[in-house]
Chain A
């Protein structure tokens, strides 16, 4: 239920970002925050004993993102699934707490997801832009994701806190301690 809520909230956030971002002035509309990657990373980082729900949620969200963004169905699903697995793998080694850490980790997640997406596209022979354009887009997306990271992180923690069974779990969720 928690995972479903996170995925639904992330999906609505993606829809809102998709509608809002094209109205942004200057070059900001090129720098779209990768909310899907953030969600997948959050699901992977906060995965409890079973990793399947987190990966499943990430894949489902990726599929929705594919439908919103018009990318080939399965591309973002695969990317977000892999991002979730990577986040799960570093779960024991990283602790995201504080605004600076949230910004840095969000930008890092965007970079990793962008890199994975680039590799997947390359391996499936999906057309890519020139390396300069890809790097510029990757940098812009990383910056934008880093900028919105703390808000998204706080929102997800609030959702986690709402699903807490005890006060201790609630406090832990708000603090960002992995369950």
Chain B
């Protein structure tokens, strides 16, 4: 088989087929990291690009992500066994008072598609919880989402809470959501604003690479 088959089925959102193909790839002796990168992540990346280009829409992304998850579950034990490391760790949630989670979910899916480990702390998350999770889970990135103009100011509280906890220099804080703008992100002292899910995932992956390189130096 070719690993491309996995990515194509994933793009079409066919979860059962993806699961079966991942198993087949394992049985045929493909290394776990290649199945992950050339199969699952390649497919999720392709969907991400098509989503940003308005070629596919939210439902197609949701079922592709579901297919990725099914495939990843089959692969997980092997990845752990072979010591494959995530590209970075992100904790993500919608800020306190905001329950609109579809944008946050899409970003989380796209980030997983970039090989990042995503700790999804859900909706209506108080600033302290972002910080506690980032510390406990050793996250490089905190990602905050808000759909409402009434809740987006909480993002500024998250930045301040990170400062107060003394972790501001080791986490990047990313913000997004319909009312959020680059100017707003700059004003509250966040590290990045991204306008869509695919860009958010790319930005997060870039931050993680940067931080790894810095550590190496």
Bound pair: A and B? Answer: no
Which A residues have a C-beta under 8 Å from some C-beta of B?
none
Which B residues have a C-beta under 8 Å from some C-beta of A?
none
